[in-house]
Structure 1
Amino acid sequence: MKYSNILLSGLMLLSVSLYGQTKPEETEVWEPEPPVVNTMGEIPSDAIVLFSEEKGLSAWESTKGGEPGWIVEGDHFTVKPGTGMIRTRDSFGSIQLHIEWRAPEKVVGEGQGRGNSGVFLMGRYEVQVLDSYNNRTYSNGQAGSVYKQHIPLANATRPPGEWQVYDIVFIAPSFNSDGSLDTPARVTVFHNGVLLQHDVELKGPTEYIGQPVYKPHPDALPLELQDHSNPVSFRNIWIRKL
């Protein structure tokens, strides 16, 4: 028998031994079928729009109660220092969030006093908003950090006055029936298309002083934006429940 025929026979025997007991269909999964999401426009068809020029701040309220005191100017809105934080009227757990922000074009202050705000996931877990363009501060407090917990992988900040883009995937924590932590929260953050946080595990809610400690809370809570006494602007905010 020629060598080529021996090799072919060996391959056929191997194929029979490996695949003779199964069929391709046995590893095909047909259910559930993923829902269709139309992405022809700028916003996915299953997204919840939290701010647009048409909607204004109708999806938001002050954390103090009542209407938000921030300033709406067409396609964006701006923190009015001293009015306090704002939160969504609806509550969310695990999400995909798109939000665009802009630090003031006129540079005032330095470090944490420059273009400071924050995106508080579930009102507890902060992704820092800061003008980090040529502005040195502590690394776990610069733009794109999980504040006081995770240093960003890069500084992708554009100059003051230019719009910045955050795309955030947040996985909410879960708690056992006795209130103990089951699974911690996790977050992935892209800033202007650059990966800053890669599925990092959160140590607990954001703390300015001291170490974070998880405390049980509902499965869904409002998203909050911070008034840190700087006139930071926001636009094009949408969210997808995961």
Structure 2
Amino acid sequence: MQNNYLLKRKPLKAFLLAICVPFFASAQNRMLQQQIPLNDLSAFKSPSPNWSVAGSVIADFNKPNTITKKEGTGILVSIPGKDKNEDIFTNMEHGDIDLSVDVMMPKGSNSGIYLQGRYEIQLLDSWGKQALTSGDLGAIYERWDESRPAGQFGFDGVAPRINVSRAPGLWQNIRIQFQAPKFDASGKKIANARIVRIILNGMTIIENAELQAPTRGSAFANEAATGPLRLQGDHGAVAFRNFRYSTRVGTMTVDGTRQVWDSNDKPVSVDVKGEPVVFRSFVDIPGKRVTHSASVGLLNNISYGFDLERGTIYQIWKGGFLDASPMWLSRGDGNARAIGSVISLDDKPALALIHEDNQAWPDTLEKGIFRQKGYELDETGIPTFKYNFDGININDKTTSEDGKGLTRKISVDGPAPKDLFARVADASDIVDLDNGLYAVNNFTYYVQLDKGVKPVIRNSAKGKEMLLPIKNTDKGTSVQYSLIW
């Protein structure tokens, strides 16, 4: 099977929606200067017993609606119980609002953010779903009218355009840019409320949605110029942190009319359709340029970046695949950018010979110790990267069965020295959640190990690192782990 370089040209509108908006959103985060304090519950009106403030939480990956918490401040938690369970309302009331908040939900949980207490943005464990509805994470929930024909009571909901939801128990960020309805001096509504943009985990999922009226479950029968934020607390366990907002909402719409390229240039995207894609380019990541990158787009909107000089998976993402415009516009600079919700990983060498417990993981490789030998595609188009590390032939293959995560297997041709290790993670922290599951970098993603595998977790310059010894066994010499997010 030949290498796949599927360069497709998209309409400018679609390209701007997918590419430009995440960068715009990131640049605007610093404008959200106001906060909802979470030192206690004083920012809220008469909270019911299901609400509390905590210092840390764990929302269970496997057990539905299960959150555990520790004392402290900074996190708002709802754990529905036997007592009265209600939603919570802020003392603050808003009209237009640009709101950013981090959300954590356990498996199967259901909650919501009601703008002005009236218009619900859905919160749901939607991890891995392929067909999205107005009931999924980040959606605008539907309106409701039982006078309509049977089966059509719910209407006017807006589903996300793509699923970038993360796994249960991981922190996710949602940003909502909302324009309140407008009224004249007599109180007559002259403009409907509008969602300018919803950005989930860095990816725009809804844009330019007009809200004709409150969604189902509104706390108020009328519409008004202002109202409180309302957080749903009676459906499922949920945690919130980092409420930041501004009452200034820009009206810029990304509708394809803005010309951002030369008139003779057209944007170029690389798509995954029907089979995996391997694409060679430069890739810029924080602080450096990966000059020998192989970006791999698998099915179900999941991708990863592989550094051919270090044998390292340096980033993973869900969403689209690549924006290759910088390679082709004007003179080109050889760079391609991931389209989607990106998680940055360790960019240091994947393998090292560690002779002593206190020996630091190398930042670079000595000249000649690593030799790239290309890659082979299997019958489905998935690559196995081949390289030689210090005289040891390595096969490195990463797969995904369902789009929920990646499974990487590093195997050795022949025996391996006893001090050969693979570094799986290097992050601020690594939390052991039992049964081979580890939360990495303050619950940004998980590492799942096979039963019985014991990693080495030790201090590093960033905080903690996880190493796996590559052991010789009767079944061969290899290590395997999964990245879940």
TM-score by length of 1: 0.68
Alignment partner, residue 99 of structure 1: 101
**Secondary structure, aligned partner of 1:153:** coil
1:166-205 superposed Cα distances (whole Å, 9 cap, x missing partner): 0110000112345443111111100000101112111210
For residues 120 and 50 of structure 1, the distance between their equivalents in structure 2, rounded to whole angstroms, comes to: 15
Alignment partner, residue 36 of structure 2: 50
Alpha-carbon contact 2:122-2:139 (below 8 Å) kept: yes
1:94-118 superposed Cα distances (whole Å, 9 cap, x missing partner): 01101111111xx3xxxxxx21100
Percent identity over paired residues? 31
**Count of aligned residue pairs for this structure pair:** 184
Call closer, same or farther: CA 1:46–1:98 in 2, change over 3 Å.
closer
Call closer, same or farther: CA 1:215–1:137 in 2, change over 3 Å.
farther
Matches within 5 A, 1:60-79: 60-61=44-45, 66-69=46-49, 70-74=51-55, 75-79=74-78
| Aligned AA (1:102) | M
Alpha-carbon contact 2:112-2:231 (below 8 Å) kept: yes
Call closer, same or farther: CA 1:45–1:191 in 2, change over 3 Å.
closer
Bigger RCO (CA 8 Å, 6+ sep): 1
Task: Quote how far apart the aligned CAs of 1:57 are.
Answer: 2.6
Matches within 5 A, 1:51-200: 51-52=37-38, 55-61=39-45, 66-69=46-49, 70-74=51-55, 75-81=74-80, 82-104=84-106, 107=107, 114-135=108-129, 139-148=133-142, 149-187=157-195, 188-200=197-209
Alpha-carbon contact 1:179-1:216 (below 8 Å) kept: no
Call closer, same or farther: CA 1:215–1:72 in 2, change over 3 Å.
closer
For residues 223 and 54 of structure 2, the distance between their equivalents in structure 1, rounded to whole angstroms, comes to: 38
For residues 34 and 48 of structure 2, the distance between their equivalents in structure 1, rounded to whole angstroms, comes to: 19
| Aligned AA (1:95) | I
**Secondary structure, aligned partner of 2:85:** coil
| Aligned AA (2:54) | E
Alpha-carbon contact 1:51-1:235 (below 8 Å) kept: no
Alpha-carbon contact 1:175-1:216 (below 8 Å) kept: no
Call closer, same or farther: CA 1:208–1:135 in 2, change over 3 Å.
farther
The structure richer in strand per residue is: 2
Residue segments in structure 2 that go unaligned for 5+ positions in a row: 1-25, 56-73, 143-156, 249-485
Alpha-carbon contact 2:110-2:125 (below 8 Å) kept: yes
Residue segments in structure 1 that go unaligned for 5+ positions in a row: 1-38, 108-113
CA RMSD of aligned residues (A): 2.7
**Secondary structure, aligned partner of 1:99:** strand
The structure richer in helix per residue is: 1
Alpha-carbon contact 2:140-2:158 (below 8 Å) kept: yes
| Aligned AA (1:233) | A
Task: Quote how far apart the aligned CAs of 1:120 are.
Answer: 0.3
For residues 162 and 94 of structure 1, the distance between their equivalents in structure 2, rounded to whole angstroms, comes to: 29
Out of 230, 237, 241, the residue aligned to residue 235 of structure 1 is: 241
**Secondary structure, aligned partner of 2:134:** helix
Call closer, same or farther: CA 1:135–1:48 in 2, change over 3 Å.
same
Alignment partner, residue 203 of structure 1: 212
Task: Quote how far apart the aligned CAs of 1:239 are.
Answer: 1.5
